[in-house]
């Protein structure tokens, strides 16, 4: 019963339909009202659920894509893959979910690129890559947490730009571009791990100075 739905549930239900309509009507009230009518949801309630306007609609759509990605690649499926395969599978599936609504994505990115929306755009991008790394099993809490997400965000952003104009069959150009960038990410992570291992047992200058100042007794 739609009357019993919470506003969060309404946002989740309407977001994909709004995205489909946004390709023709933009991220505005017409797209929202068409989606609400198709789902039998009162127009005023739908407008209340998306009181934040276009940005709120885009936020809900990206969230729905993340949820669909997680549902399609559960932990037991990802557990059979190596870390590189997990990240690749997650990004590829997210891009596959976005592909049917490329024009809506193009319009969404234009809105998020506006000066007043830059901070929100950064938050939404970070949220998605954080979810991907967590689904892939990453539990880092040190600076690796941030470097991994920053690198993946750069890769994901660049790859979605390729997707927008990729007319190849099954987006083969986009997937090839992604593979090259993931290869680079994995090489970086491997080199970083090796560098950290080499310095792991080196004498620490700060500890040495500390011992001079506070000699052991």
> Would residue 202 count as lying in a domain?
no
> Has residue 206 got a pLDDT over 60?
no
What helix, strand, coil percent values describe the chain, rounded to 5? 80, 0, 20
> Would residue 215 count as lying in a domain?
no
Mean pLDDT confidence for 11-24 = 97
Residue-range definition of the domain harbouring residue 108:
2-187
Residue 204: band (very low, low, confident or very high) from pLDDT cuts 50, 70, 90 = low
pLDDT at 217: 42
3-state secondary structure 150-199: HHHHHHHHHHHHHHHCCCCHHHHHHHHHHHHHHHHHHHHHHHHHHHHHHH
52-70 pLDDT tens trace: 999 999 999 999 999 999 9
> Would residue 72 count as lying in a domain?
yes
> Would residue 178 count as lying in a domain?
yes
CATH code assigned at 17: 1.10.357.10
pTM across the whole model: 0.84
90-111 pLDDT tens trace: 999 999 999 999 999 999 999 9
> Would residue 26 count as lying in a domain?
yes
């Amino acid at each position: 019963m739609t009357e019993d739905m919470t506003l969060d549930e309404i946002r989740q239900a309407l977001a994909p339909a709004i995205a489909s309509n946004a390709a023709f009507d933009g991220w505005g009230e017409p797209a929202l009202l068409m989606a609400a009518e198709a789902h039998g949801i009162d127009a005023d309630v739908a407008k209340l659920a998306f009181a934040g306007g276009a940005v709120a609609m885009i936020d809900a759509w990206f969230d729905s894509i993340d949820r669909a990605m997680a549902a399609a690649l559960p932990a037991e499926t990802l557990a059979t893959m190596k870390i590189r395969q997990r990240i690749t599978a997650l990004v590829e599936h997210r891009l596959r979910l976005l592909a049917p609504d490329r024009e809506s994505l193009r319009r969404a990115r234009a809105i998020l690129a506006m000066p007043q929306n830059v901070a929100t755009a950064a938050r939404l991008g970070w949220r998605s890559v954080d979810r991907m790394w967590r689904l892939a099993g990453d539990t880092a809490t040190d600076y690796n947490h941030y470097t991994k997400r920053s690198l993946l965000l750069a890769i994901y952003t660049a790859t979605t730009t390729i997707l927008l104009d990729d007319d190849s069959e099954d987006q083969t150009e986009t997937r090839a571009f992604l593979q090259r960038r993931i290869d680079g990410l994995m090489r970086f992570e491997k080199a970083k791990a090796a560098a950290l291992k080499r310095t792991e047992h080196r004498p620490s200058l700060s500890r040495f100075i500390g011992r001079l100042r506070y000699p052991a007794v």
